[in-house]
Structure 1
Amino acid sequence: MGPRIQQLAAVLLAAVVVVAAARDEPAAAKNYQTQWDTVMSILNCKSDSLIPSYICSVISKSRWGWSSDDPDDYTPAARPLRSTADLPKYVDPLPQMARIQGYGINQFGFPVPTNLTIGMYNTTWQFHRDMPPTPVFVYGQSLQTATFPGPTIVARYNVPLYVTWENHLPDAHILPWDPTVPTAIPKNGGVPTVVHLHGAAQAPDSDGHALAWFTRDFAENGSTWTKKTYTYPNVQPAAGNIWYHDHALGLTRASLLAGLLAAYIVEWPELEMPFNLPSGEFDLHLVIADRQFNTDGTIYMNSTGVEPKIHPQWQPEYFGEVITVNGKAWPFQAVQRRRYRLRILNASNARYLNIRFSNGLPFTVIASDATYLSRPVTVSNLLLSPAEIFDVIVDFSLVVNPNATDIELLNSAPYPFPTGTPTNDSLDGKVMAFNVSAKWQLNDDINTPTPADNSTTVPEIGVPFAKVTALPPTMKTRYIVLYENMTTNDPNTGKTMNLYINGLRLEDPPTETPISGTTELWHVINLTPDNHPLHLHLAEFQAVQMLQLVDPDMFKTCMLQHNDTVICNLSQHAVGALQPVPEEEKTWKNVVKIPPAYVTSVVVAFRLVHNNMPYPFDATAAPGYVYHCHILDHEDNAMIRPLTLLP
């Protein structure tokens, strides 16, 4: 027996033992998780795997609990879901994550570059007072300090930060994943990770390319991995509200769901101090993410795909009925009657949020994503796509009731957005509560708190570079088409197989090759029923027009056949209603919502927008960048394309 046959026999024997043990002892099946995932990593059920794909398929079905070789005959081996209707709301205080200073101070008091080491750890986190601790993957400077979300890094504008990212994760993922979508699969086991600083401008080798992944102790790495320490120049404009998260190919939906996400701030005191914004304890991050849990407290993720014949585990969207904020389910925050700054990030995998206060209290939007507006905008509600950030001022002194009172932050966005299931008023329709202190009154004959200092202001103006006209005219026009490929053309029975951009995948050659330092006009055509949050790495962009398609089904049928906007007469279909771009989104963003059956025109800047200068690094170097839908389930399969800048 040759070495290859011996290796094959040993691996198959191990797989049989693990599967048999898990089937014989269903209650203890979770004890075999690590052994199982190690076996499957070794098998590497791809075109270059050790064993024939059919054997991989049979074993994989056993992993997900299928009872026969027929993909139509299966029963999920999932843990029972926890009913969350009995979880009391507003019993856990809102945590504020630890802040790590991302710069040093020299002997003259000036900020200087510094180095940080941040790891990824497998630990537990308690999402609710009445739930057991939940296994999570999280960021931290040590296992003991790692949190969900991870620590907030506070950097300084134009002061580089060097971060060494370390992978301390176990041999197997704590959540199911699907090897039939393009996925990073190490040959020797381990959980692949790579960190992307979302919304920042950095060189390609520090951007967290999907193929630049690495496993524990850098034992194995992907094809575009080059270095352990990333350089962040911190040159993007303030408001500096960005975030960092995992970006390994095919695993973003599982790894972010497990907890690999955190906030990042770029301070620019010279710009921001005149605004006199709330600071310190009155400057709060709200990192919102939906989750579902099993009865044992573990995070639920489906183990059966929407179309198991094609993808055994992948589903087009993940939604949970539990809304967490800063890692707590439906928390509360005690506030004084004064202005607060709320930096609101939607870190959900696929859920849109349409938030408002229960008493009608307004939001004054000062920034969206990483850039201030040209002028603050007051709104009654905010629609946040996944990965979108709004920076707002809320004045709790406007609460009419003079007594101590609670106001709720509510959510009404259907899922999938915009035409999916309505929210449940008692579950995903609630986000958190704010406990507003009693109003100080002169006639009170009891001890009352002193009036809250409300000397901060809402700035009357923002930044001049927020407008599209701040940059030179666009040099090139592109057409970007979003497709959802179905098993059949029948909308009642068709299941999603994958989602593509321009009919292409990440591994196909790049077609978007802008010249570094220029601006372009992209017409993004959405031929799917979902709203998609489009995210471009490196670039900043903003919507300038949203034009409805007339006879969208006819146009879609033609595009599915020809994939050509000229042949399919786009000019005859893009003549519908004009939807205005919301005022609170009129600035340079890193996520733009693309509504269904619309042509959304966006100006894309491949240069720094605040000073109209080229990047201070080589943006044309390998491995380049990517752009994708930030519904993570879509990104993983496979709504992601390369973005290669040219000199």
Structure 2
Amino acid sequence: MLQQVAGSLQMYVDPLPQMPKIRGYDFQDGRVVPVNLTIGMFQKKWKFHRDLPDTPVFVYGQCVDSATFPGPTIVARHDVPLAVTWENHLPDHHILPWDPTVPTAIPGSDVGVPTVVHLHGSAHPPQSDGSAFAWFTAGFRDTRPSWTQATYTYPNVQPPGNLWYHDHALGLTRANLHAGLLGAYVIEKPEVDVPMDLPCGDDDDLHLVIADRSFNADGSLYMNSTGAAPSVHPQWQPEYFGEAVTVNGKAWPFLAVRRRRYRLCILNASNARYFNVSLSNSVPFHIIGSDSSYLAAPVTVPSLLIAPAEIFDVVVDFSAMSSSSPATTTEVEMLNSAPYPFPTGTAPGPLNDKVMKFVVAPNGPHDTPDNSTVPEREVPYANVASPGTPAPETTRCIAMYEYVTAWGQSTHLYINGLRLEDPVTETPRSGTTEAVKMQQLVGLQAFTDCMTRVNDAVKCGVDQHAVGPVVAVPEHEKTWKNVVKVPPGFVTTVVVAFKLVDTNQPYPFDATAEPGYVYHCHILDHEDNAMIRPLKLLP
């Protein structure tokens, strides 16, 4: 039925919308000054496709009428703090199924939809991090002991780049994001951004928020109501994959462009699906940034693998495409070739192997000339091995593993065999640099078979797995990232700086305060059950 509904929708009939922008600063007497914003969470109807009935969603906005799927793009200014009061106006009950048997935010009397907002990729005080335990319901009627404050403060002291905000409530992250609680966030720094002469302006600098979704015949969002191991978890499944691909809240939209350069900020906001995107006419992507940082220098690639929660900042030059005549209109598809689950799953089919279409029109006589560039160099601090970057003081090791029933049904996923609520074991000192070796054991059949028998990672020879030759890090991922791909059967080593990476200075706030931070798998279904652990910085 889900394939039938998605397959009935004609592709490329809805124009790609751009989300409304909210400026997170103001001007006073020629100076940039801070502002306070109030952004709410609302239930409303959203039109995902011309031929699909209106869909109930949860969305962010300054009022219900202006709320969108995804939410408004917040544009902040470097070193200008932004205060946001996040208000929950959601109904008493969720619009999607959820599972109370995984560690979950459950309000008193089961009334209300718990939410809490996390600004993904931001350097901010723990009280404004959006702890999974700091959730609240409508009107702050129900809050938890870890709830800290109604207004969050974002210092915006980190380098310029692309972030996103989304819900982070315990056990409900996958359902709340699926319903629509997500949006883009940009930190601008004119003295860094402007000299690069990148494409700019509302027409040439665009966000593409990609998310797979399935729809019921009545237009409502589909989320499974039966779990992978229903005797253990009635509803939870280890990965959600949708039949339709939405971009900025439209299923397979199109975008009219000219023969010029465009800057595209591509965010994969899917629960579990990877996207390996390419353009059907082989025009390459010039990658200028990854997650919330520029690169040291642009990298040109024919295709781009984007994990859930990962962001890439790219320039596409439609003037460079081949055509029989520059005076003709050409159609270019954005395609997807990533198997699901990635990397060894099913190849995408005729629905989810397409993302959107660009309709490339010839330049008109009144079009402004394209003076944008792809710069040869960007920012020196993006080079993790650059002079002045301290060597890691400590190396930590973490292992990610999936527990299954005797019949191979997934039941839960832990990091180092521990739950979120278990005592904190990662306690780096604020201001230091560490190395972290992440061992991905999910999906390794030999290890799984042994764990099923003895449930002891040491006896199962955990140190004998994920061995082999070193694989080079892709050039376009060599920067300070907040999402790292960790393939099954690999040990991925990352350098983590618990300070400002562009200046090597400590955070200008108390990063050691309660309730601390977390690190986790960003496959949302894994995160909710319960591949997430606390991170507590020490003085």
User: TM-score, normalised on structure 1?
Assistant: 0.80
Unaligned runs of 5+ in 2: none
Quote the offset at 1:554 in angstroms: 5.9
2:153 is the counterpart of 1:219: no
Quote the offset at 1:85 in angstroms: 1.1
The match for 1:413 is 338
Quote the offset at 1:400 in angstroms: 1.2
2:539 is the counterpart of 1:621: no
Contact persistence 2:3–2:243 (CA under 8 A): no
Structure that is richer in helix per residue: 1
Instruction: Tell me the distance in 1 between the aligned counterparts of 2:3 and 2:467.
Output: 47
Of 364, 385, 392, the residue aligned with 1:469 is: 385
Quote the offset at 1:577 in angstroms: 2.0
* Secondary structure at the counterpart of residue 7 of structure 2: coil
The match for 2:177 is 256
2:9 is the counterpart of 1:87: yes
Quote the offset at 1:82 in angstroms: 5.2
The match for 1:4 is none
Contact persistence 1:82–1:294 (CA under 8 A): no
The match for 2:493 is 601
Quote the offset at 1:83 in angstroms: 2.0
Contact persistence 1:527–1:556 (CA under 8 A): no
Contact persistence 2:213–2:222 (CA under 8 A): yes
The match for 2:163 is 242
Contact persistence 1:627–1:643 (CA under 8 A): yes
2:355 is the counterpart of 1:431: yes
2:179 is the counterpart of 1:267: no
The one-letter code sitting in structure 2 at the alignment partner of 1:412 is: S
The one-letter code sitting in structure 1 at the alignment partner of 2:354 is: K
The match for 1:588 is 480
Contact persistence 2:466–2:489 (CA under 8 A): no
Contact persistence 1:100–1:151 (CA under 8 A): yes
Residues 148 and 160 of structure 1: is their aligned pair in 2 closer, same or farther, counting only changes over 3 Å? same
The match for 2:204 is 282
Contact persistence 1:558–1:568 (CA under 8 A): no
Instruction: Tell me the distance in 2 between the aligned counterparts of 1:564 and 1:513.
Output: 23
The match for 2:530 is 638
Contact persistence 2:435–2:496 (CA under 8 A): yes
CA deviation digits over 1:335-360, x for unaligned, max 9?
01000000000000110000000010
Give me the CA root mean square deviation: 1.8
Instruction: Tell me the distance in 2 between the aligned counterparts of 1:306 and 1:569.
Output: 26
The one-letter code sitting in structure 2 at the alignment partner of 1:553 is: A
* Secondary structure at the counterpart of residue 37 of structure 2: strand
> Across the two proteins, how many residue pairs are aligned to each other?
531
Quote the offset at 1:376 in angstroms: 0.4
* Secondary structure at the counterpart of residue 108 of structure 2: coil
Quote the offset at 1:553 in angstroms: 3.3
Quote the offset at 1:237 in angstroms: 1.1
Contact persistence 2:2–2:214 (CA under 8 A): no
Residues 486 and 573 of structure 1: is their aligned pair in 2 closer, same or farther, counting only changes over 3 Å? closer
Instruction: Tell me the distance in 2 between the aligned counterparts of 1:437 and 1:269.
Output: 31
The one-letter code sitting in structure 2 at the alignment partner of 1:408 is: E
Instruction: Tell me the distance in 2 between the aligned counterparts of 1:387 and 1:237.
Output: 19
The match for 1:317 is 239
Of 131, 138, 142, the residue aligned with 2:63 is: 142
Quote the offset at 1:467 in angstroms: 1.4
Quote the offset at 1:223 in angstroms: 2.0
Quote the offset at 1:575 in angstroms: 4.4
CA deviation digits over 1:424-458, x for unaligned, max 9?
1x2000000000013x6xxxxxxx64566221110
Instruction: Tell me the distance in 2 between the aligned counterparts of 1:80 and 1:321.
Output: 7
CA deviation digits over 1:571-598, x for unaligned, max 9?
x656412211111100000000001101
Unaligned runs of 5+ in 1: 1-78, 441-447, 531-551
Residues 556 and 584 of structure 1: is their aligned pair in 2 closer, same or farther, counting only changes over 3 Å? farther
2:414 is the counterpart of 1:484: no
User: TM-score, normalised on structure 2?
Assistant: 0.96
Contact persistence 2:212–2:244 (CA under 8 A): yes
Contact persistence 2:58–2:181 (CA under 8 A): yes
Q: Percent sequence identity over matched residues?
A: 63
CA deviation digits over 1:457-504, x for unaligned, max 9?
10110111111224201011111000000102xxxx410000000000
Instruction: Tell me the distance in 2 between the aligned counterparts of 1:556 and 1:105.
Output: 62
Instruction: Tell me the distance in 2 between the aligned counterparts of 1:139 and 1:377.
Output: 34
Structure 2 counterparts to residues 17-416 of structure 1, below 5 A: 83-107=5-29, 109-188=30-109, 189-238=111-160, 240-280=161-201, 281-401=203-323, 402=325, 403-416=328-341
CA deviation digits over 1:255-275, x for unaligned, max 9?
000000000000000111110
